Amino acid sequence: MAFESPTPHDLYLFHEGNLFQSYRTLGSHVTNQHGVEGVLFSVWAPNANKVSVVGDFNHWYGSNHEMNRLEQSGVWSLFIPYLGEGTVYKYQIESQHDGLLLKADPYGVYAELRPKTASIVRNLSGFDWQDHEWQKQKAEQSHFKRPMNIYEMHLGSWKLNDDKSFLTYEQLANELVDYLVSSGYTHLEIMPLSEHPFDRSWGYQIIGYYALTSRYGTPEQFMHLVNRCHQHGIGVIMDWVPGHFCKDDPGLRRFDGSPLYEYHDPKKAEKLLWGTLSFDFGKPEVCSFLISNAVFWMDVYHIDGIRADAVASMLDQNFDKPQEQWTLNEQGGTENLEAIAFLQKLNKTVFQLFPHALMIAEDSSDRPLITAPTYAGGLGFNYKWNMGWMNDTLRYMELEPEQRRHHHNWITFSFLYAYSENFILPFSHDEVVHGKKSLLNKMPGDYWRKFANLRLLYGFMAGHPGKKLLFMGSEFGQFSEWNDNEFAQLDWQLIHDFEKHRQINEYKKHLNSIYKQQSALWELDFDPAGFTWIDADNAEQGVLSFIRKSQDPNEQIVIVCNFTPNVYHDFRIGVPSSSQMYELLNSDEERFGGSGCINSGQYHAQSIPYHNQAYSIQMTVPPLATVMLKTSKPN
pLDDT tens profile 50-77: 999 999 999 999 999 999 999 888 999 9
Q: Where are the domains of the chain?
A: 8-120, 147-521, 528-630
The secondary structure of 283-336 as a DSSP string is -HHHHHHHHHHHHHHHHHH---EEEETTHHHHHBTTTT--GGG----TTSSSB-
What integer pLDDT is reported at residue 66 of this predicted model? 97
30 pLDDT more than 60: yes
- Encode pLDDT of 493-522 as tens digits: 999 999 999 999 999 999 999 999 999 999
Query: Which three-class secondary structure state does DSSP give residue 157?
Result: helix
454 pLDDT more than 70: yes
Q: Is-cis flag, bond preceding 192, omega within 30?
A: no
Is the separation of the CB atoms in 410 and 453 below 8 Å?
no
Spelled out in words, what is the top-level CATH class assigned to the domain 8-120? mainly beta
Q: What are phi and psi of 437, to 5 degrees?
A: 75, 160
Residue 457 one-letter amino acid: L
What integer pLDDT is reported at residue 2 of this predicted model? 62
- Encode pLDDT of 183-229 as tens digits: 999 999 999 999 999 888 888 999 999 999 999 999 999 999 999 99
Angle at 53 between CA 294 and CA 67, to 5 degrees: 95
> Rounded to whole angstroms, how far apart are CA atoms 286 and 484?
32
Of 569, 540, 561, 588, the closest CA to residue 402 belongs to 540
What integer pLDDT is reported at residue 299 of this predicted model? 98
581 pLDDT more than 50: yes
485 pLDDT more than 80: no
The percent of residues above 90 in pLDDT, for the chain, comes to 91
CB burial of residue 204 (10 Å; 0-12, 13-18, 19+): buried
- Encode pLDDT of 422-433 as tens digits: 999 999 999 999
- Average pLDDT of the chain to the nearest whole number: 95
The model's confidence at residue 4, banded by pLDDT at 50, 70 and 90, is confident
> Rounded to whole angstroms, how far apart are CA atoms 471 and 431?
9
Q: Cβ–Cβ contacts within 10 Å for residue 260, how many?
A: 22
The model's confidence at residue 1, banded by pLDDT at 50, 70 and 90, is low
| Residue 270 vs residues 264, 321, 362, 531: alpha-carbon distances, Å | 10, 9, 20, 44
The architecture that CATH gives domain 528-630 is: Sandwich (2.60)
Which residues contact residue 462 at a Cβ distance below 8 angstroms, ignoring those fewer than 6 apart? 468, 511, 514, 515, 521, 626
What integer pLDDT is reported at residue 531 of this predicted model? 98
**Fold equal for 8-120 and 147-521:** no
The mean per-residue pLDDT over the stretch 446-470 comes to 98
The mean per-residue pLDDT over the stretch 429-452 comes to 96
Least confident of 17-21, 104-108, 199-203, 410-414: 199-203
> Rounded to whole angstroms, how far apart are CA atoms 308 and 300?
19
More confident residue, 603 or 376: 376
The mean per-residue pLDDT over the stretch 289-301 comes to 98
455 pLDDT more than 50: yes
> Rounded to whole angstroms, how far apart are CA atoms 38 and 31?
6
The mean per-residue pLDDT over the stretch 397-414 comes to 97
- Encode pLDDT of 89-127 as tens digits: 999 999 988 789 999 999 999 999 999 999 999 999 999
3-state secondary structure 590-620: HHHCCCCCCCCCEECCECCCECCECEEEEEE
> Rounded to whole angstroms, how far apart are CA atoms 8 and 207?
29
> Rounded to whole angstroms, how far apart are CA atoms 589 and 600?
11
301 pLDDT more than 70: yes
- Encode pLDDT of 549-580 as tens digits: 999 988 999 999 999 999 999 999 999 998 88
HSE-CB for 477 with a 13 A CA cutoff: 33
Which residues contact residue 7 at a Cβ distance below 8 angstroms, ignoring those fewer than 6 apart? none
Would you name the residues annotated as active-site residues?
A: 309, 362
What integer pLDDT is reported at residue 634 of this predicted model? 47
CB burial of residue 468 (10 Å; 0-12, 13-18, 19+): buried
The mean per-residue pLDDT over the stretch 288-311 comes to 98
The percent of residues above 70 in pLDDT, for the chain, comes to 99
pTM equals 0.96
Asked if the 147-521 domain carries CATH number 3.20.20.80, the reply is yes
